[in-house]
Amino acid sequence: MMILKDRPHVLSVRTVASLEFRINHVMGRFELSREKAIERIQKGTKRRTAYLKANYGVDWEDPTLYHLVLNTETLGFEGAAQMIADAAGQVDRQATG
Domains (ranges, CATH) in the chain?
13-96 (3.40.50.300)
Local structure of residue 67 (DSSP, 8 states)? S
Rounded to two decimals, the pTM is 0.85
Say how far apart CA 21 and CA 2 lie, in whole Å: 27
pLDDT per 10-residue tile (average), the chain, 97 residues = 80 96 98 98 96 94 94 98 96 83
